[in-house]
Amino acid sequence: MSLPAEIEAESVALFHDVRLEDIDPDAHAAFVMARVLDHGTLRSVRALLRFYGRDRIRDFFREGGAARVSPRTVPLWTAFFELAPEECTPKSSSRRSSPFWTA
């Protein structure tokens, strides 16, 4: 499985610190979602919605995804996905690191 062409077309801006071929869309879904929701264009966000689906992206936020995107964009996405702010509050204070920066 590979990422949609619209997301791959923006890969230089979205994934500048990792190699595109190292990204597994399923295993690294949270990483991809965070990058596209934070730095993607309307075109790549639409592709993200088609690729992962609204419910999976909502679950990303419910499982602590709000801590992985910019605080400036959280209100936009919580409104868009009709989520209450408390639904997006991480259950613990630890922040996950990028899957590409672990030893």
pLDDT band at 85 (very low <50, low <70, confident <90, very high): confident
Residue 29 is assigned to a structural domain of this protein: yes
The closest of 87, 85, 61 to 75, measured between CA atoms, is 85
Supply the mean pLDDT for the chain. Answer: 89
Residue 92 is assigned to a structural domain of this protein: no
In which domain, by residue range, is 22 found? 5-87
Residue 102 is assigned to a structural domain of this protein: no
The answer, yes or no, to whether residue 101 has pLDDT greater than 80, is no
Q: What amino acid is encoded at 50 in this protein?
A: R
Domain tally, the chain: 1
Residue 66 is assigned to a structural domain of this protein: yes
Average pLDDT for 75-95 = 80
Residue 13 is assigned to a structural domain of this protein: yes
Q: What is the pLDDT of residues 36-82, one digit of tens each?
A: 999 999 999 999 999 999 999 999 999 999 999 999 999 999 999 99
Residues 6+ apart with CB under 8 A from 60: 29, 30, 33, 34
Say what the pLDDT of residue 103 is.
46
Q: What is the pLDDT of residues 15-36, one digit of tens each?
A: 999 999 999 999 999 999 999 9
Residue 96 is assigned to a structural domain of this protein: no
Burial class (CB in 10 A: 0-12, 13-18, 19+), 84: exposed
Residue 43 is assigned to a structural domain of this protein: yes
Residue 49 is assigned to a structural domain of this protein: yes
Length of the chain in terms of residues written: 103
User: Cβ(86)–Cβ(46) under 8 Å?
Assistant: no
Say what the pLDDT of residue 89 is.
74
pTM confidence score: 0.84
